[in-house]
Amino acid sequence: MKSKSYKFLNFISNLFLPESCNLRVLAYHDIIDSNKFEAQIKFLVKSKYNIISVNDLHAYLYDGKILTKNSLLITFDDGDVSVLDHGLPILRKYDLPSVMFVITGLINSANTFWCRWVEIALQNQGKSYAESRVVVNSLKKMSNSERVAYLEKLDPVASRQLTIDDMLKMQNGKMFIGNHTHTHPMVNKCTNQELNNDLKLSLASFEEWQLPGGKIFAYPNGNWDKESEEILKNNGIDMAFLFDHKLNKKDINPMRISRIRVNSDTELNEFKVKISGLHSKLMTLKNRIV
């Protein structure tokens, strides 16, 4: 039923939606299904979209360079190793640029990204995945200090994480390494001191690794407010990406760049509907009705 619905919506978007030249930025997290991911990439390569690099976008925002028609930027959040193992080879096959936003505190470690850590720890205690996700979502709404205090009570869970050599391999493969904070806090739930301290750690890591992407930032979970935005600016961040499931407007605020949420295991018709902009319009309408 879902497949048929998206097939119909894709038909509708092709017929009735005017072609939008607005920038599209795709936001992935991991590569669950490499075959479906490659099908998505093949579609982008053969379609009207022009895949750009983050440097192209920076030059457009700050140097007056022209952005090609139907520009599209591919991004990944959290630094999941599946992107290195299964995503990068596909992107290199088609010679496409992309961006990976990494949590600097996890690099060269065996620690688990805190959202996944909570899921595993609670499931080890007999909770269901759905129950563990309720806890994760509630932690995202807490103050940062409360979230950290909860995590300190959990048993540690080891995971494979990216290394510095991995990031250099990715960077050499046209996958730009950007900043996703040091510990993945919800920046709007941090005190000013907490956020400043976290940013200083992440920026210091980029400097140590001699990678240029410390000032290209993605908000964890898409959370932001005007106060946290100012703190980012004061720390030298000059591009920041949201997680709001929208196309960008013609006049782009460099600190509020919209992204479309996509998954690597999404069926192609659903993927087409999402990047067309129709899906975000329907979600906005649904939220207004509800």
pLDDT by 10-residue block (mean), the chain, 290 residues: 63 52 93 98 94 97 93 98 98 98 98 98 97 98 98 96 98 97 98 98 98 98 97 98 94 97 95 82 60
Quick one: pLDDT at residue 18? 46
CA distance 223 to 140: 9
What is the number of alpha carbons within 13 Å of residue 133 lying toward its C-beta? Answer: 3
Name the phi and psi angles at 217, rounded to 5: -125, 145
Quick one: pLDDT at residue 91? 98
Quick one: pLDDT at residue 276? 86
Using an 8 Å Cβ cutoff, are 180 and 102 in contact? Answer: yes
Quick one: pLDDT at residue 15? 47
- pTM for this model (two decimals): 0.93
Quick one: pLDDT at residue 92? 98
Quick one: pLDDT at residue 262? 97
